[in-house]
């Protein structure tokens, strides 16, 4: 009888320790997080549920009360908005990763694109996929760069806005557009596009991926534990393999 009681107690103890962590993450993190999360699950015994979309959509879901433990944004502005509304757990916000903007074309394209200026000046380029430039980080970054380069007015009539950066990538992969702006990490994960040119870091916007636990997290301790893992050398090695770098 004592043995049975002990067995039940141990079973219940394991059940209590296993947490369910819900993570809202930017679309550009989909591939890498699908590798990072299972590795953490195996190590910790916790379960990680991933929800991907444009950072603007995820931030709005959080504001509207969607259950979540962690938010991984593709820009600081969306995190700023949540922090101003006291929706972040104090002291948990970190700048985690960095990325690079690139211009991609279908793998069979012969268009001579060596810089963003070619998008404006080449008449053969009719459509350019770009994540929604008014709300989605990848689109905001792209418009910021084109505006700074005095190319936005020429390029904007060709822009086909998409819901998120993955949709912009899909538009190029399908051949529905001649070119598109995406993150380097997105391009490296696709066999249907090639990088025509990379936006130089000195000229492009600073791309930062912040992470924070949410004040309304049902299990803040578990959320903080997973956040710490995201900053670990083991997780960083995976992020780097997918083309990300540590935030500076």
CA distance 196 to 19: 44
Give the pLDDT score at 212. Answer: 99
CA 8 distance to own-chain centroid: 42
User: What residue ranges do the domains of the chain occupy?
Assistant: 16-98+209-246, 101-198
CA distance 227 to 40: 11
DSSP-derived 3-state class of residue 210: strand
For residue range 176-234, what is the model confidence (pLDDT) as tens digits? 999 999 999 999 999 999 999 999 888 889 999 999 999 999 999 999 999 999 999 99
Task: Assign domain 16-98+209-246 to its CATH architecture.
Answer: 3-Layer(aba) Sandwich (3.40)
The pTM assigned to this predicted structure is 0.84
For residue range 14-48, what is the model confidence (pLDDT) as tens digits? 445 689 999 999 999 999 999 999 999 999 999 99
For residue range 65-97, what is the model confidence (pLDDT) as tens digits? 999 999 999 999 999 999 999 999 999 999 999
CB 139 within 8 A of CB 155: no
Tokens, residue 216: 């309304």
- The residue behind tokens 């394991």 is 14
DSSP-derived 3-state class of residue 157: helix
DSSP state for residue 176 in the 8-state scheme: S
Angle between helices 30-44 and 233-241 (to 10 degrees): 150
Exposed/middle/buried for residue 77 (C-beta within 10 Å: 0-12, 13-18, 19+): middle
Q: What is the mean pLDDT of residues 98-104?
A: 97
Q: Do domains 16-98+209-246 and 101-198 have the same CATH topology?
A: yes
Across 121-147, b (16+ Cβ under 10 Å) vs e yields eeeebeebbbbbbebbbbbbbbbbbbe
Q: What class has domain 101-198?
A: alpha beta
């Amino acid at each position: 009888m004592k043995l049975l009681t002990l067995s039940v107690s141990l079973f219940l103890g394991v059940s209590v320790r296993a947490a369910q962590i819900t993570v809202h993450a930017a679309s550009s993190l989909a591939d890498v997080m699908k590798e990072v999360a299972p590795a953490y699950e195996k190590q910790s015994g916790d379960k990680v549920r991933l929800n991907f979309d444009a950072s603007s959509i995820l931030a709005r879901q959080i504001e509207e009360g969607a259950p979540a433990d962690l938010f991984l944004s593709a820009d600081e502005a969306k995190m700023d908005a949540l922090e101003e509304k006291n929706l972040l757990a104090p002291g948990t916000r970190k700048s985690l990763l960095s990325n690079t903007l690139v211009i991609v074309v279908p793998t069979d394209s012969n268009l001579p694109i060596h810089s963003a200026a070619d998008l404006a000046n080449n008449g053969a380029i009719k459509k350019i996929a770009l994540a929604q430039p008014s709300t989605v980080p990848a689109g905001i970054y792209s418009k910021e760069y084109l505006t700074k380069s005095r190319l936005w007015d020429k390029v904007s009539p060709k822009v086909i806005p998409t819901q998120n950066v993955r949709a912009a990538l899909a538009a190029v992969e399908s051949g529905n557009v001649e070119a598109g702006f995406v993150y380097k990490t997105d391009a490296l994960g696709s066999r249907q596009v090639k990088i025509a040119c990379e936006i130089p870091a000195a000229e492009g916007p600073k791309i930062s991926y912040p992470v924070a636990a949410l004040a309304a997290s049902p299990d803040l301790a578990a959320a903080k534990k997973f956040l710490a893992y995201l900053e670990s050398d083991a997780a960083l090695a995976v992020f780097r393999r997918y083309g990300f770098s540590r935030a500076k």
